[in-house]
Amino acid sequence: MRLKALKLRNFRGYYYETEIKFNNLTAFVGKNDAGKSSILEALEIFFNNSVVKIEKDDLNVDALAAGDNRIEITCIFSQLPAELVIDAANPTTLQAEYLINNDGDLEVKKVFVCGAAAPKEKVFIVANHPTVANGNDLLVLKRQELRTRANQINVPAANYNGNINSSLRTAIWNHLGALNLNKVEIQVDKEDAKEAWAYLEKWMPQFALFKSDRKSSDGDKEVTDPMQVAVNTALSELTQELAAIQATVKAKAIEVADRTLAKLQEMNPALANELTPDFKSDPKWSGLFSLTLASDRNIPINKRGSGVRRLIVLNFFRAEAERRRNENNSQAIIYAFEEPENSQHPNHQEMLIKAFQELAETNNTQVLITTHNPALAGLINEDDLRLVTVDAQNNITVLDHQQNIMRDIATTLGMLPEPLKPRLLICVEGPNDVVFFKTISSLINQTRNDLPNLSRNDRVAIFPLGGGTLKDWVTHDYLSGLGLPQYHIYDLDDAANPPYQPQRDAVRAKGGQNWAELTVKRETENYLHPNCIQAIYGFAIAFGDMDDVPEIVASTQHNANSPNPWNTLDDEKKKKKISTAKRRLNKDVTAVMTWADLQASDANGDIIRWLENIRDRIV
């Protein structure tokens, strides 16, 4: 299952119900104490209630004053299991049991009544469910009660199997006809609803929260948490093997118990008849393994600097990105990381963001981060950003890309990190373009040292505008307050009707040192040499100046590794694969380009001309 959205009500600063939407990578930006960490901690409470535990003090103060003592944390999931096993002999589906909402998703609400120091949870499934009389309570009826109901409303016995609850429910619903489906909350701790929830829990993603707070215990959370995630991940991928071991142990133990009872039968039949072998609970496998990292020279990890400890976490994520990229059958997992910039060199911050992006592009993986660092926010695609702010009435709002948040992010965080004070602001469409121009300018600088290396020249700053809001940035000139001249480079995209030509003209019309260019070819990937693409991907492709190179690469790679043709994939899967190809083309392929490759692939010298224009503006 994939986490699609979260709803919070009465949880800390979230008084009114607030919905937060998630992508594969989602970054929450905002000032300190805006409510970013509360989102991640609410998810930790929902999934684990371990690293962060629910407390009665988590109840919103306005809710408390109003006499409402219920905290509600609701998670909405897509990509649901194909079947629902309540009766082992007759699997059913979420749809057949009317346990999905209007959007076809699974919506699970956990309610915590804050009357005690440690509030207990109640679990509900919010679904578009039958409300018709005799059909609105079937999930909480026992088998005999379902049989009685079927008889009461004269359901033909031939229409159901009286020994299977799901068969009884289906027959009753079919017999009733109009079910009057409406949004209802079904408490899933009664009868078959409880069984359904127990099954669905097994499909829930793992959730791993890495908090920013510094720890100083021998089992430093910043280091032990990733190692425990490694143990839990290994266990989740050995479910069948562990189940077989568990079944063997149970069988052997019950065999001994049965022999004991047989002997007891000879001496005291009455007592023997009262006793039956029973396992009170399944083993907790994760508690049997404790994985730690020993420091060199026997220096405890918790005595090392916070930056070193978090550097270990950084490389855990890098290693996970590589592992999950190579293993397509990994269990679903959500990584949540508070403020990855803490105690880290800027270069390490960038590496961590890249690891997060790679993780988010792998199967069954989502990554959530919080930050108030504008430099980190600038490395993330606009679609993946969420701005968390507090309004004049102290209500928290969470804005996404559909609400044109870039201007608000610029106002809230500021767009350039101190002490950076460049002479020129280079504006491109997205983070992949930033990587391309930094890498290609570094290559060019080795031969043309008069041209700037944008990866380490402190006289320039490269800022991704985001393709979706680029027009808004230019139209409203949000960056004018920085007092810097701007040099914009946008993709041509369409030779007949370039989408950003009006914005190019608007920047040029500003005069002074401001200028804007459109690529002569379709986009930056068209300036890569085919031989370099083959060196990275292992296959050859041919393309022209206006071909969609990322899609060609993504489709070629997919068709070489999957029995399902590219044209059978849905748009979401295609988009994800194209995004992965685009990132790799700009990062890895650009990195292996040579001067000779560039001269062959950019025979007209477009990139050289842009860098000459930039040079002339910063000397």
The answer to whether 104 touches 43, Cβ cutoff 8 Å, is no
- The pLDDT value given to residue 404: 61
Close Cβ partners of 27 (under 8 Å, ≥ 6 residues apart): 368, 369, 370, 371, 376, 377, 380, 384, 385, 386
- The pLDDT value given to residue 112: 95
Task: Choose between 322 and 515: higher pLDDT.
Answer: 515
The answer to whether 371 touches 335, Cβ cutoff 8 Å, is no
Q: Which two tokens stand for residue 555?
A: 């489709």
pLDDT tens by residue, 354-401? 778 877 887 788 999 998 776 667 677 778 889 898 877 778 888 886
Over residues 69-82, mean pLDDT: 93
Which 8-state DSSP code applies to residue 103? T
Buried b (16+ CB within 10 A) or exposed e, 416-434: beeeeebebbbbbbbbbbb
- The pLDDT value given to residue 606: 97
The answer to whether 111 touches 122, Cβ cutoff 8 Å, is yes
Query: Given a cut of 80, is residue 493 above it in pLDDT?
Result: yes
Q: Is 586 left (phi over 0), alpha (psi -120 to 50) or beta?
A: alpha
C-alpha count within 13 angstroms, C-beta hemisphere, residue 560: 11
Is the four-CA dihedral 249, 252, 256, 258 of positive or negative sign? positive
- The pLDDT value given to residue 421: 59
H-run or E-run covering 419: none
- CA-to-CA distance for 380 and 373, rounded, in angstroms? 12
Exposed/middle/buried for residue 117 (C-beta within 10 Å: 0-12, 13-18, 19+)? exposed
Rg of the chain over all Cα atoms, to the nearest angstrom: 29
Least confident of 52-66, 74-88, 430-444, 561-575: 74-88
Is the four-CA dihedral 383, 389, 391, 396 of positive or negative sign? positive
Query: Given a cut of 70, is residue 49 above it in pLDDT?
Result: yes
- CA-to-CA distance for 604 and 520, rounded, in angstroms? 9
Task: Choose between 360 and 2: higher pLDDT.
Answer: 2
pLDDT tens by residue, 415-469? 444 444 578 989 998 888 999 999 999 999 999 999 999 988 888 988 887 665 6
- The pLDDT value given to residue 240: 75
- The pLDDT value given to residue 117: 72
- The pLDDT value given to residue 18: 94
Q: Which two tokens stand for residue 323?
A: 């592992």
Least confident of 463-477, 487-501, 590-604: 463-477
pLDDT confidence band for 214 (50 / 70 / 90): very low
The residue ranges of every structural domain in the chain are: 2-21+48-207, 212-335, 419-618
- CA-to-CA distance for 354 and 564, rounded, in angstroms? 29
Task: Choose between 500 and 279: higher pLDDT.
Answer: 500
- CA-to-CA distance for 422 and 425, rounded, in angstroms? 7
Over residues 27-43, mean pLDDT: 89
The percent of residues above 70 in pLDDT, for the chain, comes to 80
The number of residues in the chain equals: 619
Note if the bond before 419 is cis, omega within 30 degrees. Answer: yes
Q: Let me know how many helices (H) and strands (E) the chain has, helices first.
A: 21, 16
The answer to whether 426 touches 607, Cβ cutoff 8 Å, is no
- CA-to-CA distance for 89 and 311, rounded, in angstroms? 50
Q: Which two tokens stand for residue 405?
A: 């948040």
CA 246 to chain centre: 33
- The pLDDT value given to residue 313: 65
- CA-to-CA distance for 235 and 286, rounded, in angstroms? 7
- CA-to-CA distance for 573 and 381, rounded, in angstroms? 18
Over residues 143-151, mean pLDDT: 93
Over residues 208-226, mean pLDDT: 53
- The pLDDT value given to residue 570: 87
- The pLDDT value given to residue 48: 87
The amino acid at residue 181 is: L
Q: Which two tokens stand for residue 245?
A: 């071991």
pLDDT confidence band for 218 (50 / 70 / 90): very low
Is the four-CA dihedral 253, 254, 260, 264 of positive or negative sign? positive
- CA-to-CA distance for 30 and 371, rounded, in angstroms? 7
pLDDT tens by residue, 524-555? 999 999 999 999 999 999 999 999 999 999 99
Which three-class secondary structure state does DSSP give residue 26?
strand
